[in-house]
């Protein structure tokens, strides 16, 4: 290592929700971490940067609490119930948290609030350096087996070195592409329209998802506004061409289109603030690791928001990778070693592939109005509603409490 370089345990490329959470988790457990993010942190905290609200499953919330991040979340709306219906059919599935205990299924948190919480947590961690806005102009991972760390040349000419590089730079990940990691991907030819809706009646912490022929229409509970206005986040799926026309409507016409789908269960409704739209795609990396490289979050997988599990998949990546790296570090192992990273990949591969396949299948099953398929899926909803053990299994899935969970997701310390 030259005198102009600093050696870190980990360099995280990408400072979004996944990247900064990963950095916080590792720094909280004593690893030195550099985060290189192209985005200006001040811009990322602005109200107009991202209108999305994320579902944080109960198991994911445990992990965020365990790494000291949840303490900085200023507002979060518990999800006490989940109601899933198919259009205007009378058949539906109702998940009631009381069937499993006294904990909510999870929490709805605005992405803006999560970013603010991340900045609060970073301020407590002297071992975490956030370099932003900044990019890595070049990364040299060195020869496999040499023991030499990866060398990163930043856009401003600075150089750092790291035992491991973590790619958390999103679905268009340059880190993944530079490593030659191929992906399975396609477009759903759908766009997700996102906005905040104010409504007359309270939502009582109920998350609703209605499957319409154009795609899912989700009404997700949010905390009340400062002035007491009841709020919900709307995630409205439409074919891409139709979505562009809806986004081009003036505020009054857009609100009228929204009300036709929203219904009158919450009384009078109105749009609060701006609207956003995002293309909906599928992506699955063929592998998550390479020499001194690991991928997490959207850099490794991207799924349809039909089940609201996108961020939770990334948080499970973070829990698994953190456990693998912390255990290896305490044993005195090189955290960039292939066998250390293989443990992470094996741990996450099945879960990610399985949930990706399920969400893709649900999207194709419910985004149509073919009569025989509609009848079959409505019968399926009715069966789930009437078989308590099956229903409870799906409820535990919604909480993130199934499978071989890393210790952080179980609410346990790493030692």
Task: Kindly report, residue by residue over 18-34, the tens digit of the pLDDT.
Answer: 999 999 999 999 999 99
> Given a cut of 90, is residue 131 above it in pLDDT?
yes
Say which residues have a Cβ less than 8 Å from residue 88's Cβ, sequence separation at least 6.
none
> Given a cut of 70, is residue 49 above it in pLDDT?
yes
> Given a cut of 90, is residue 89 above it in pLDDT?
no
Task: Note the pTM of the prediction, 2 decimals.
Answer: 0.93
Q: To the nearest whole number, what is the mean pLDDT of the chain?
A: 90
> Given a cut of 50, is residue 2 above it in pLDDT?
no
> Given a cut of 70, is residue 323 above it in pLDDT?
yes
Residue 305 pLDDT class (50, 70, 90 cuts): confident
Could you tell me whether strands 159-167 and 293-295 are parallel, antiparallel, or unpaired per DSSP bridges? parallel
Mean pLDDT of 277-287: 95
- Predicted confidence at residue 163, as pLDDT, reads 97
Q: Give the Cα separation of 34 and 126 in Å (integer).
A: 11
* 197 touches 368 (CB < 8 A): no
Mean pLDDT of 83-93: 76
CA 162 and chain centroid, separation: 26
**Poorest-pLDDT segment among 18-22, 99-103, 172-176:** 99-103
* 299 touches 167 (CB < 8 A): yes
Q: Give the Cα separation of 155 and 134 in Å (integer).
A: 7
> Given a cut of 70, is residue 412 above it in pLDDT?
yes
Q: Would you list the DSSP string of 270-313?
A: EEEEEEEEEEEEEEEES-SEETTEEE-GGGTEE--GGGS-HHHH
Mean pLDDT of 108-122: 96
Q: How many CB atoms lie within 10 A of CB 187?
A: 10
Cα separation values, 329 from 32, 324, 332, 334, Å: 11, 9, 5, 7
> Given a cut of 90, is residue 371 above it in pLDDT?
no
């Amino acid at each position: 290592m030259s005198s102009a370089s600093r050696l870190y345990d980990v360099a995280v490329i990408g400072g979004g929700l996944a990247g900064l959470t990963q950095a916080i988790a590792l720094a909280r457990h004593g690893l030195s971490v550099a985060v290189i993010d192209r985005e200006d942190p001040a811009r990322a905290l602005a109200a107009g940067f991202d209108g999305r609200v994320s579902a944080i499953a109960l198991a994911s919330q445990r992990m965020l609490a365990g790494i000291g991040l949840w303490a900085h979340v200023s507002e979060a709306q518990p999800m006490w119930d989940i109601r899933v219906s198919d259009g205007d059919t009378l058949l539906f599935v109702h998940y009631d948290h009381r069937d499993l205990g006294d904990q909510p299924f999870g929490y709805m948190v605005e992405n803006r609030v999560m970013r603010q919480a991340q900045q609060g947590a970073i301020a407590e961690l002297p071992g975490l350096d956030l370099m932003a806005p900044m990019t890595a102009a070049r990364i040299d991972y060195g020869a496999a087996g040499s023991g030499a760390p990866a060398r990163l040349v930043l856009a401003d000419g600075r150089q750092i070195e790291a035992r491991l590089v973590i790619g958390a730079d999103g679905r268009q990940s340059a880190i993944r592409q530079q490593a030659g990691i191929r992906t399975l991907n396609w477009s759903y030819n759908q766009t997700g329209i996102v906005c905040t809706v104010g409504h007359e009646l309270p939502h009582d912490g109920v998350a609703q998802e209605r499957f319409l022929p154009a795609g899912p229409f989700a009404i997700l509970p949010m905390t009340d506004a400062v002035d007491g206005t009841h709020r919900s986040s709307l995630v409205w799926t439409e074919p891409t061409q139709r979505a562009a026309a809806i986004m081009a409507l003036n505020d009054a016409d857009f609100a009228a289109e929204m009300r036709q789908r929203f219904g009158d269960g919450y009384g009078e409704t109105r749009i609060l603030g701006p609207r956003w739209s995002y293309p909906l795609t599928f992506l699955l990396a063929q592998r998550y690791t390479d020499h001194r490289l690991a991928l997490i979050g959207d850099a490794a997988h991207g799924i349809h928001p039909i089940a609201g599990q996108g961020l939770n998949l990334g948080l499970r990546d973070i829990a698994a990778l953190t456990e693998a790296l912390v255990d290896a570090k305490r044993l005195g192992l090189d955290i960039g070693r292939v066998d250390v990273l293989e443990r992470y990949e094996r741990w996450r591969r099945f879960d990610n592939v399985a949930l990706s396949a399920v969400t893709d299948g649900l999207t194709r099953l419910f985004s149509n109005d073919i009569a025989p398929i509609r009848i079959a899926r409505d019968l399926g909803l009715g069966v789930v509603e009437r078989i308590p053990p099956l229903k409870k299994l799906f409820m535990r899935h919604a909480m993130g409490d199934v499978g071989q969970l890393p210790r952080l997701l179980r609410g346990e310390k790493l030692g």
